[in-house]
Amino acid sequence: MMNNDKMDPFDCLIVGAGPVALAMAKALQLRGLTYSLCGELPHQRPNSPDLRTAALFDGSVRLLKTLGAWPYVEPLAAPLVAIRIIDATGRLFRAPEQLFAAADIDTCQLGFNIPNPVLIDAFQATLKTIADANKNHPDEINLTVKVTAINVSDSGVTATLADGTSRMGRIAIAADGRNSITRAAASINVRTWNHNQAALTAHFDHEFSNQAISTEIHAATGPCTVVPLSANRSSLVWMEQPDRAAELADLNDTHFIEALEFRLAGLLGPIRSVTSRRVFPLSSLIADRFAANRVALIGESGHAFPPIGAQGLNLGLRDVASLADHLAEARLAGKDVGSDEVLNAYSTSRSADILARTYGVDAFNASLTGGPTGMLRGAAFHATKASPGVKRFLMERGMQPIGEWPSMMR
């Protein structure tokens, strides 16, 4: 890459190389804003690859379609027709088993389960198509570079890259995850808190069909969730206290399968095989605003929480679609895309959705791991079971933004 020091700034500098950064690049491309994406793809460890998958709901799937990524994703995406929740907390006042089915809200499926690498590859493929079509396109994408420093000035934001070159944008979009240096450069504060939990991930093959139903078994240490990858293969997100998660991950395949069969209590029948395991430490984070000082936060740079109810990436993709709307409108009106006016409008528009998800997941998690909210949870589940109206309301709230759908998700 050539040094960009002497060139005009890009409209946008995207820092990061996760699914949210790549979706943002594609959204800007479609909206006609110029960008430079600088990031480092997550390192894959040969003996324990990242086997995370994302259950993406309707709005996210519509965004993938708008961005042109869906044809690459669809052959490898597993439809989800229902989410089942089983209370295994062993408490006196237990919640009844719940099935949240697509039919309850008059649709064919709730969403699709997609492996993270499939999403990353799909976004890269769509970005390449346009770059190939127009060799003079000024946008640039570098997925192998570390950003070592970010400097904010009155006229723009400059990223210094590990190769010694720099890039400047009128706005920087922080898609560099929880420990975002872009967020820090804009002096945006975050509140963080720990849960004494970790998530163990793996894929496994099982005898019985999962019937395209995702099942969450709620134990007092957190949920153990199995999400369909195909009829007889599922992905696993097993939340436990960190020591127990590490202990489980270290078991050999035979002993791990025994432990998993015990946890699933026969739900998917005998387990035939399992992949390597990887453990993700869990914590929560929320920024005190979602844009300031020429920097906008998207994805986990602005909010992070435990993987319960498949909320994280769905929320991050709503950030992407919303920011694309704000920047495109600003551009159309001839405004500076990094101005306080544009940033404040974006931050305000995302606040309710982000606060509700972050604290909602936190409260739900706390209701499992102890405390007075456990009783409330049981009561809420009884009410949901008794009333289709309450169930529909909860399902729609879990899958839709608070506020309007951004235009790319309609």
Ligand X SMILES: Cc1cc2nc3c(=O)[nH]c(=O)nc-3n(C[C@H](O)[C@H](O)[C@H](O)COP(=O)(O)OP(=O)(O)OC[C@H]3O[C@@H](n4cnc5c(N)ncnc54)[C@H](O)[C@@H]3O)c2cc1C
Binding site for ligand X (CB under 6 A): 16-21, 39-42, 52, 54-55, 146-147, 175-177, 181, 199, 201, 237, 280, 299-300, 307, 310-314, 316
User: Cα(268)–Cα(368) distance, rounded to whole angstroms?
Assistant: 23
Closer of 9 and 312 to ligand X (Cβ): 312
Closer of 226 and 237 to ligand X (Cβ): 237
User: Cα(147)–Cα(386) distance, rounded to whole angstroms?
Assistant: 53
User: Cα(369)–Cα(115) distance, rounded to whole angstroms?
Assistant: 28
Angle in degrees, CA 83, 353, 303, rounded to 5? 90
Smallest distance, Å, CB 94 to ligand X?
25
Smallest distance, Å, CB 52 to ligand X?
5
Closer of 72 and 378 to ligand X (Cβ): 72
CA of 255: how far to CAs of 236, 258, 262, 274, in Å? 16, 5, 11, 11
Closer of 177 and 378 to ligand X (Cβ): 177
CA of 236: how far to CAs of 137, 168, 228, in Å? 41, 41, 9
Smallest distance, Å, CB 130 to ligand X?
21
Smallest distance, Å, CB 176 to ligand X?
4
User: Cα(270)–Cα(277) distance, rounded to whole angstroms?
Assistant: 19
User: Cα(301)–Cα(118) distance, rounded to whole angstroms?
Assistant: 22
Closer of 9 and 223 to ligand X (Cβ): 223
User: Cα(19)–Cα(290) distance, rounded to whole angstroms?
Assistant: 18
User: Cα(346)–Cα(297) distance, rounded to whole angstroms?
Assistant: 10
Backbone angles phi, psi at 290, to 5 degrees: -110, 5
N residues, the chain: 410
User: Cα(116)–Cα(114) distance, rounded to whole angstroms?
Assistant: 6
Smallest distance, Å, CB 299 to ligand X?
2
Closer of 308 and 327 to ligand X (Cβ): 308
- Report strand pairing: 166-174 vs 10-15: parallel
Closer of 117 and 177 to ligand X (Cβ): 177
How many secondary structure helices (H) and strands (E) does the chain include?
11, 20
Closer of 317 and 374 to ligand X (Cβ): 317
Smallest distance, Å, CB 336 to ligand X?
25
Q: Is 125 left (phi over 0), alpha (psi -120 to 50) or beta?
A: alpha
Smallest distance, Å, CB 379 to ligand X?
27
Smallest distance, Å, CB 269 to ligand X?
23
